[in-house]
């Protein structure tokens, strides 16, 4: 089932997501399928977190290499162990903040522990673009949006666009969305 994506201004995007109880596996497995199907409906999405579809749980999908035909990766109850490498500036956008882009400074390496889509424990060092996407999606689990990393001056440059989204002025999108 395709789930509507929450747009900036929705309260769930600012909540601290709850850890997933592994006893709820059947329900979570179905939700993971829906989340992946939702991500597939977007033309450019490379990741999506559960809060972005209104469910405040610690889960996100990474699909940074979708253009290579690879399958999305599932991260259940992820925990960033360390952020490594120098920080690099890169352009970011978000399915929940359509039409808004900014240059964000992120670490180039991340060590992360999580359960994969088969519920097996993993710990990996991930580099480059995938590392950036992981940090972005992980922020969603902690009630943060990418523009929270901007300086006051950079934030002021995009504030009017954020205000428009909060007031329901949404650009035309290829995916379903919700304002609540």
Q: pTM (2 decimals)?
A: 0.94
Mean pLDDT is lowest, of 58-62, 83-87, 89-93, 161-165, for: 83-87
List CB contacts of 46: < 8 A, sequence separation 6 or more: 62, 63, 64, 66, 133
pLDDT the model gives residue 180: 72
- Asked if 33 contacts 166 with a C-beta cutoff of 8 angstroms, the reply is no
Is pLDDT of 80 > 90? yes
Q: Can you give the CATH number for the domain in which 34 is found?
A: 3.90.45.10
Q: Where are the alpha helices (DSSP H) in 41-147?
A: 128-141
49-66 pLDDT, tens per residue? 999 999 999 999 999 888
Q: Which residues of 77-91 are buried (b: 16+ CB within 10 A; e: fewer)?
A: bbebeeeeeeeeeee
- CA distance linking residue 6 with residue 38, whole number of Å: 12
Q: Using one digit for the tens of pLDDT, what is the confidence trace for 144-167?
A: 999 999 999 999 999 999 999 999
In this prediction, residue 177 carries a pLDDT of 86
Whether residue 44 contacts residue 63, with contact meaning beta carbons closer than 8 Å, is answered with no
What does the alpha-carbon distance between residue 88 and residue 80 come to, in Å, rounded to a whole number? Answer: 18
Number of independent structural domains in the chain: 1
Across 31-56, average pLDDT: 96
- Catalytically active residues, by annotation: 137
Q: How does pLDDT run across 122-151, given as a tens digit for each residue?
A: 999 999 999 999 999 999 999 999 999 999
Q: What range defines the domain where residue 137 resides? A: 5-178
């Amino acid at each position: 089932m395709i789930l509507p994506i929450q747009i900036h201004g929705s309260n769930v995007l600012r909540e601290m997501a709850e850890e997933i109880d592994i006893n709820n596996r059947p329900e979570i497995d179905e939700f993971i399928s829906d989340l992946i199907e939702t991500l597939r409906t977007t033309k450019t999405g490379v990741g999506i977190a559960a809060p972005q579809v209104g469910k405040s749980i610690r889960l996100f999908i990474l699909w940074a290499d979708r253009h290579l035909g690879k399958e999305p990766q599932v991260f259940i109850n992820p925990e960033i162990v360390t952020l490594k490498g120098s920080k690099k500036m890169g352009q970011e956008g978000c399915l929940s903040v359509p039409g808004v882009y900014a240059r964000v400074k992120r670490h180039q390496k991340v060590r992360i522990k999580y359960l994969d889509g088969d519920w097996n424990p993993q710990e990996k060092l991930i580099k480059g673009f995938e590392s950036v996407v992981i940090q972005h999606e992980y922020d969603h689990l902690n009630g943060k949006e990418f523009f929270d990393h901007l300086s006051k001056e950079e934030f002021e440059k995009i504030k009017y666009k954020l205000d428009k989204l909060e007031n329901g002025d949404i650009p035309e999108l290829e995916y379903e969305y919700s304002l609540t």
